[in-house]
Amino acid sequence: MGTRKKRADMAGKPDPDKVKGPGGMTMRELHELVKKGHARDQAAGRQHNKLAQPQNRWQRLVRYVWDKNRGRG
């Protein structure tokens, strides 16, 4: 484990347990919170998308043209 610390120091990368981020949290704690939040968002998105029907190419094209023309007004 001593060689890992040397490599990190030689590369100029700070230790994530010592670097403080927003709110006084360490960067490692912040990283874990972001990972948990991302996993939660992914799970919520999958549940929502189960109800929607998949669109084929034609439907995507029509939606694109429709939205583009509505924007010109």
pLDDT in tens, 22-73: 788 888 898 999 999 999 888 877 666 667 777 789 888 988 888 888 875 4
Selected residue with higher pLDDT from 40 and 6 = 40
Could you list the residue range(s) of the whole structural domain that residue 9 is in? 2-72
Phi, psi at 53, each rounded to 5°: -80, 140
Between 29 and 21, name the one with better pLDDT: 29
H helical segments located in the chain: 2-11, 27-49, 57-72
Q: Which residue has the tokens 């190419």?
A: 57
Indicate the SS3 state at residue 73.
coil
Q: Which of 13, 14, 31 is closest to 22 using CA atoms?
A: 31
What's the domain count of the chain? 1
Those residues whose C-beta lies under 8 Å from the C-beta of residue 40, and which sit 6 or more positions away, are: none
The pTM of this model reads 0.44
